[in-house]
Structure 1
Amino acid sequence: MGLFDRLFGKKEEPKIEEIVKEALENLDLSEDTDPALTEVEEVSQEEAEVESSESAVFEEEENQETVEENNNLEPVVEVQQEEVEEKENPELEESVEENSSEVLEAETPQVEETVQEKYDRSLKKTRTGFGARLNAFFANFRSVDEEFFEELEELLIMSDVGVQVASNLTEELRYEAKLENAKKPDALRRVIIEKLVELYEKDGNYDESIHFQDGLTVMLFVGVNGVGKTTSIGKLAHRYKQEGKKVMLVAADTFRAGAVAQLAEWGRRVDVPVVTGPEKADPASVVFDGMERAVAEGIDILMIDTAGRLQNKDNLMAELEKIGRIIKRVVPEAPHETFLALDASTGQNALVQAKEFSKITPLTAIVLTKIDGTARGGVVLAIREELNIPVKLIGFGEKIDDIGEFNSENFMKGLLEGLI
C-alpha cells in the first residue's frame, strides 16, 4: 500500500451484520402494540410513576435537611481544633499550605503530546495557509484550461514547494486532465494531493532513520548562524540523555564567543560535558580533543557544533575538510551523520543554503527548525525533490522536548489533512 493510500485511503465498507443490526434497530414496531392495554391500566401506570417520583423527592429533601444539620454543627468543632493546633504548633499552617499545593500539582499532571499531535500543531500555519489558497483557487475557476494550470503553478511556488516541484506537478496534472477528460477543477483536487504525496514518496526509500552505532556515534552539525543549530544540539543532548545514553558536546565554532557560551550553557542546563578550547583556537584541535575524550570515556553520542560562515565559503570548506580528517584519524568511519540545520521560516532561502552547503561538504541529513512559526513547511518537498537529502530531525517548537526524528507519513498527514 502506498503512502497516499495509508493516509487518505477509502473508508472500509460496513459489514453486512452491522447493516442488518442497524435495520432491525430502526424498524417501526408501533403497529404491534398490545391492543388489550386499557385506559385504566395506562392511568394506573402514570400514577405509579408519579408516586415513585414523589417518594424520591421526599427522600432527597430529608437527606438534604440531615446534611444541613450536620453542616451547622461541624464548623464549631473545626474552629476549636484549628485554634488548639495553631497554639501548639504555629508552623502547622505553612506546612498544610505546602502539602496542599503539592497535592494540587499531583492531581493535575501535564498531558504529554503524541508525536502526531506535535506534527499537527507545528504544521498548522503551513496547512491552513496552503489549504486556504487551494480552496480559493478552486472557487475562482469553473473550468480546466491553460489559465487554470498557470495559476496553479504560481500557487504551488508561493507555497514554497519549489519551482521545479511546481513545474513537474503542473505538467503531470495536464497529462492527467487529458487522460481523464477532466472538465471541472474539483475533479483534480484529489489528484493534486496525490501527486504531492507521490513526489515525496518517490521510490519509497526515505532513509529517515539516524545511523546510530553500537559504540560511539559521531554527529557533525553545519549551518549558518541563527538557524537554530546550537539549540537543536542542546535539545537532542537532553533527549538522548533521557534515553540513557552518555552524551558529549564539542564547541568547534571557536571564532564566535557567543556560540561557545551558548553551547556551554546548554551543557550545564541538560548536565552533559562540553569540550571547549581557548578563544580563536583551531576548531580541528578542539574536535580532536573531543574525539579522544569521547573514546576514552565510553561516550555513546558525540555532537560537534561548527561555524556557519557561508559568506566565506573557501575558508569554511577548508575548515570542514580539516575537521573531517581529524575525526577520521580517531574513528575512521566517522562522522556517521553530517546534519545541515535549516530554518523552515526562510522558505526558498533554506533551499539555497542546502545547495551551497552540499557543495562544501557531503551532507547525510537535514535538521528542519522553527517549522511551528511559519507557513513555509512546503520547503520539505522542495528539498526532497531537488536535493534528495533526507530530513531526519524536525523541531516542533521552543520547549526542550520539541525535537524529534522526522517521519514523512506523520509530516504529510499533518500538512495535507483536511484538504480532501
Structure 2
Amino acid sequence: MGLFDRLFGKKEEPKIEEVVKEALENLDLSEDAEPALTEAEKVPQEDAEVESSEEDLLQEEENQETVEESQDSEPVVEVSQEEVEELPNSEEVPEEENTELLETVEENSSEVLEVERPQVEETVQEKYDRSLKKTRTGFGARLNAFFANFRSVDEEFFEELEELLIMSDVGVQVASNLTEELRYEAKLENAKKPDALRRVIIEKLVELYEKDGSYDESIHFQDGLTVMLFVGVNGVGKTTSIGKLAHRYKQAGKKVMLVAADTFRAGAVAQLAEWGRRVDVPVVTGPEKADPASVVFDGMERAVAEGIDILMIDTAGRLQNKDNLMAELEKIGRIIKRVVPEAPHETFLALDASTGQNALVQAKEFSKITPLTGIVLTKIDGTARGGVVLAIREELNIPVKLIGFGEKIDDIGEFNSENFMKGLLEGLI
C-alpha cells in the first residue's frame, strides 16, 4: 500500500451487526423514560397517592403535638447581660495572623487546583496538526478558491495552478514538474472539470515526497559515542534546537554533552551554556575568540573519556563569508576524525521554515560547503510556508530528520513524512 492510500484511503463501511449493536446501546433505558400507563393502571396509582397524602397529614399532626409537649416541659432559663459577657468566647485571632492564614489557605488551594488539573500531553500527530495549521489552511484556502474560479480545464487553468504552487513555497521545480504531470493526466483521463483533478493534485504531492520509498529519515545513532555537527546561519534556531534535543535525549536516559564551537559570537556561547545549565548537561567552551577546532578537540576527548552517548557541536553560521566558513568546517571535520575516524555521524543543517524559498537557497549553499546528512526544520508552527519541505526533497534530496513544533522545551522531534503529509494535506480532499 502506497503512502497516499495509507493516509487518505477510503474508510470501510461499518458492518450491519455493528450498526445494530450501536443502535441498541443508544436506546434510552433510563428511569426517566417511563412507559405510558393504561387506564386500568392509572386508578390504583391515584388511590395510592391519596393514601400516602393522608399518612403524611397524620404524621405532621403527631410531630406538632410532640413539639408542643416538649416546649411545655422545658423550663425557661434567663441569662443576664453580665453573664453573657463573662461566657468564654472562642479565641480571637489577631488580624496579622488571620491574614497569613488566609494567604496560606489560598496558596494551598492553588496548589491543589494545579494538581487536580492534569497536563494533557499532545500526541506526535497532534503536534504536526497544530504546527502545520497555518500552512494547511493557507494552501487549502488558495486551492479551494482556485477550483471555484475555473469551470473547465484549459491552458490558463494549468498556468494559474503552477503559480499557486509556487506561492505555496513548494518550489519552482516542484510546481513545474507537477503541472506537467497533471497535463498528461488530464489528457489521459479526458478530464474536463477542475474538480476531477483535485484528488490527482494531492496524490502527486504525496508521490513527490514518497519517490522511491526510501526516506532515510532515521538518525544514525551509534552503540558508543554519536557525534552530531550542527551548521546553519545565525538566527534560524540552531542553538535552541540543540538545547531542546539535549533535554530530549537526557530524558531518554542518554549521557549528553554540548560543544560551543561558535567562538566568534559571545552570545552564541552564552546561549548554549545557559541551555546546558537549564537541562543539566555539561558544555565545553573555550576562551573568547579561540580557535573553534581546538574547542571541538577538547570536547571530543572529554566525550570519549567520560563515556558520553551523544555529543552535539554548535558551529558558526557566517554564510556571507563562505570561503572562511568552508575552511573552518573542514578543519573541524578533520579534528573530529582524528579522535573518532567515522565521525561526525550526522551533519545537520538548521533551516527556518518561515523564510520559505530563502531556506532552499541556504540549503543549496551549505550543501556546497559541507556534506549534509539531514535537516532540522525550525519555526514551522509560526508560518504558512511548510511546503518548503517538498522543495528541499525534490531539488536537493536532503531528508528532513528533525522538526521543531513550537517554543516549549519538548517541542522538537524526529521527522516523520507520513505525519507531516497528513498534517499538511488533511481535509483538502
TM-score bracket for this pair, using the shorter chain length: 0.7 to 0.9
Q: Distance in 2 between matches of 1:291 and 1:145?
A: 61
User: Cα distance, 1:179 vs. partner?
Assistant: 1.1
Q: CA deviation at 1:15?
A: 1.9
| 1:238 CA displacement | 1.0
Deviation at 1:227, TM superposition (A): 0.5
Instruction: For 2:47 and 2:385, locate their aligned partners in 1 and report how far apart those are by CA, in whole Å.
Output: 69
How far did 1:97 drift? 3.5
Q: CA deviation at 1:99?
A: 2.7
Q: 1:173 to 1:90 in 2, by over 3 A?
A: closer
* Map of 2:10 onto structure 1: 10
Range with bigger deviation, 84-93 or 164-173: 84-93
Q: 1:94 to 1:34 in 2, by over 3 A?
A: closer
In the TM superposition, what is the alpha-carbon distance from 1:29 to its structure 2 partner? 18
Indicate if the aligned counterparts of 1:85 and 1:92 stay in contact, CA closer than 8 A.
no
Deviation at 1:100, TM superposition (A): 2.3
Residue 18 of structure 1: CA displacement?
A: 3.8
Counterparts of 1:169 and 1:155, CA distance in 2: 12
Q: Which runs of 5+ in 2 are unaligned?
A: 84-92
Distance 1:85 1:278, change over 3 A: same
1:188-242 CA-to-partner distances (Å, cap 9, x unmatched) read 1011001100000111111111111111110000001110101101111111111
Q: Which residue of 2 aligns with 1:216?
A: 225
Q: What does the per-residue CA deviation read over 1:338-394, in whole Å, with 9 as the maximum and x for residues that have no partner?
A: 000000000001001000100000000000000011000000000011111000000
Q: What is the root-mean-square deviation in Å for CA atoms of aligned residues?
A: 6.5
Deviates more, 1:55-64 or 1:172-181: 55-64
Deviation, 1:256, is 1.1
Q: State the secondary structure of the residue aligned to 2:23.
A: helix
Q: Give distance in 2, aligned partners of 1:361 and 1:72.
A: 105
2:413 counterpart SS class: strand
CA distance in 2, matches of 1:32, 1:278: 79
Cα pair distance change 1:16/1:320, threshold 3 Å: same
123, 138, 145: which one aligns with 2:132? 123
Counterpart of 2:27 in 1: which secondary structure? coil
Percent identical among aligned pairs is 94
Structure 1 residues 204, 90: closer, same or farther in 2, change over 3 A? same
**Alpha-carbon separation, structure 2, partners of 1:188 and 1:351:** 28
Per-residue deviation, 1:101: 2.4
Instruction: Give the C-alpha shift of residue 330 in structure 1.
Output: 0.3
State how far apart, in whole Å, the 2-side matches of 1:329 and 1:158 are: 46
Pair 33,313 (structure 1): closer, same or farther in 2 beyond 3 Å: closer
Q: Is the contact made by 1:86 and 1:92 (CA closer than 8 Å) also made in structure 2? A: no
1:122-163 Cα deviation digits (max 9, x unpaired): 111100000000000000000011110110000000000001
Q: C-alpha distance in 1, partners of 2:71/2:207?
A: 69
| Partners of 2:127 and 2:72 in 1: CA distance | 52
Which one has a bigger Cα radius of gyration?
A: 2
Separation (CA, whole Å) in 1 of partners of 2:303 and 2:72:
71
In structure 1, the residue matched to 2:374 is 365
CA distance in 1 between counterparts of 2:75 and 2:267 reads 62
Q: Distance in 2 between matches of 1:227 and 1:171?
A: 34
Output the TM-score relative to the length of structure 1: 0.86
1:77 offset after TM fit, Å? 23
Residue by residue over 1:275-330, the C-alpha shift from the partner in whole angstroms, topping out at 9 and shown as x without a partner, is 11111111100000000000011111100000111111111111101100000000
Residues 1:87 and 1:160: Cα distance change in structure 2 (over 3 Å):
closer
> How has the CA–CA distance of structure 1 residues 82 and 277 changed in structure 2, closer, same or farther, with 3 Å as cutoff?
farther
What is the count of residue pairs matched by the alignment? 420
TM-score, normalised to structure 2's length?
A: 0.84
SS in 1 for 2:219: coil
Gaps of 5+ in 1: none
